[in-house]
Structure 1
Amino acid sequence: MIVRTLEECEKSDRRVESETGTWESTRMLLKQDNMGYSFHITTIYANTETHIWYQNHFESVYCISGEGEIETLADGKVYQIRPGTLYNLDQHDEHLLRAKSELKLACVFNPPLTGKEVHDENGVYPLEAEEVA
């Protein structure tokens, strides 16, 4: 059984900050945990916009607190995000994530992240090569 608290994970190398200064993510469950997905609590800072395009991952995001919006770039649709909203990037959707106030989000990634990923210049997390045993 794996048991961790958010507080202990925030005080470890599982907490990752973006180079752009728009978000931080505490990766509570990672690829090395062998669950087939990773689980994160992510904070998107107020009054920011983040370009994201997960070409290599699927993500489900549940809003715990805060308000914002997501705009899908393929069609220009804008979806409001508030507590209780779940959105799922099931088409590798390229999007802009805007936080009107600080957003606290619970995120699940498949395939799982290794823990140190940050968005590249295209908003993509790289697909890590399998580790050699």
Structure 2
Amino acid sequence: MPFVDLETNLPASRFSEDFLKKLASTTAAALGKPVDRMVVLVKPDLPLFIFGSSAPCVVLSVAGIGVTDTAEKNRDNSATIFPFLTKELGLSEDRIVIRFSPLEPWQVGKNGTVVTFL
């Protein structure tokens, strides 16, 4: 169950349900997970300053069990996710940052327990 959080200073009007579905399917494909296991959250209209500027930008956080735990996996994940974000949001790669975080099964709660016991 990967978690994808997109934080941005872009306006909420840029993020339709169609965008959410595309983000879920793109990241699911990159991570090798089914789209029905993705948790996607978009936080628009934030005061955000990266790389010396508050020009339009995105910080994408991707966390998951077994999908973000090596440099090689995250290099491949980046190679899929960056082109999607640049195309869909009209941003250059230097205005996007992706933060990958590995999770352990005991760190994710679901159905009244944690993934370890599911």
Higher strand share: 1
Alignment TM-score, normalising by the size of structure 2: 0.25
Alignment TM-score, normalising by the size of structure 1: 0.23
Higher helix share: 2
